[in-house]
Structure 1
Amino acid sequence: MPAVMKKRFLTVLVLLWMGLIFWFSAQPSDDSEDMSLEAGKLAGQILIPEYEEWSQARQLAFAKKIDLPVRKLAHGLEYAVLGLFLTAMYRSYGLDGRRWILISFLSAAAYASTDEFHQLFVPGRAGKVTDVLIDSAGALIGVCVVWMIRRMYILRINA
């Protein structure tokens, strides 16, 4: 893919992912809770062989029990993906050395902060410092994954 096309593609990808994060954050608390409960039910179906045999009440109780970890994992994962995308985008613009690591992480952490601020204006939602920290940790994981892959690639070429 030509360099200009790659830059545009990755920039659009980052913006679309940020838009998806914004959309999730714009969901009122009831809608957001419904989505995470559905994710909890899906986790039950995948992880527990006898889940389908459980009563609906027991399935719902399970989903509610794991709701908080599901939400926090979702926070971390969506920002890990953002970290991956930001890293790829900044690299396509020619950031060299280790600057792309810092800039990718700081960009994602800044977006996490604005995302939590945005949630202050959504019915039933709250902006939380702990969520900014979880989001930032997720972004750091995403950036580190790219760094490790790149490092292995460089070591393989130089071997």
Structure 2
Amino acid sequence: MRDRKGKNRLVFVVSWTAVFLWMAIIFYLSAQVATQSDELSQGIAEKLFSVIAKAFPWLSGEYIQANFIVRKSAHFLSYLMMGLLTMNALRRSGVKGLRLVAIAIVICVLYAISDEVHQLFVPGRSGQIKDVLIDSGGAIVGTVFHRLFERRG
């Protein structure tokens, strides 16, 4: 009995640590000045664009569009992951049912809002409502995925 409580406590701590580490990563990336952030996404976009051009030579498009897609996909995917991690941590905390989903989404959306406000104070960056909406969409998809696979398990 004692080992089970200890294991549950460890899983609880690890689950919430993962959420807070993920939040720290998002914060770190948001704290990058505009030139650093743009260099990172441009580097990814260049690699993505070269792979797409080789795989689908008939497709043409502007590199800027690839950079835009990379930047917005990063928003969506980072909050999808945050939704998954938050759902897991809340479930380990004993939260159940639709309350679990609602609390996870609220946590993620509030963090997305705070992230965009944070960017208002970073040189060259700006807080954008559309980014909060993209982040929120990713969080919702992450929570729904977690809920679907949780029920199957």
TM-score by length of 2: 0.88
Query: 1:16-73 CA distances to partner (integer Å, 9 max, x unpaired)?
Result: 000000001000011111000011022124333279xxxxxxxxx9543311111111
Secondary structure, in 3 states, of the residue corresponding to 1:15?
Answer: helix
Verify: 1:26 aligned to 2:45, yes or no: no
Which of 1, 12, 18 aligns to 1:13? It is 18
Stretches of structure 2 that go unaligned for 5 or more consecutive residues are none
Query: 1:82-103 CA distances to partner (integer Å, 9 max, x unpaired)?
Result: 0000000000000012211000
Q: After superposition, where does 1:4-153 map in structure 2 within 5 Å? A: 4-49=9-54, 63-153=63-153
* Aligned CA-pair RMSD: 1.7
Mapped contact 1:38–1:63 kept (Cα < 8 A): no
Q: Which moved more, 1:9-18 or 1:62-71?
A: 62-71
Percent identical pairs in the alignment equals 33
Could you list the structure 1 runs, at least 4 aligned residues long, displaced by more than 4 angstroms after superposition: none
Mapped contact 2:76–2:135 kept (Cα < 8 A): yes
Question: How many aligned residue pairs are there?
Answer: 144
Stretches of structure 1 that go unaligned for 5 or more consecutive residues are 52-60, 154-159
TM-score by length of 1: 0.85
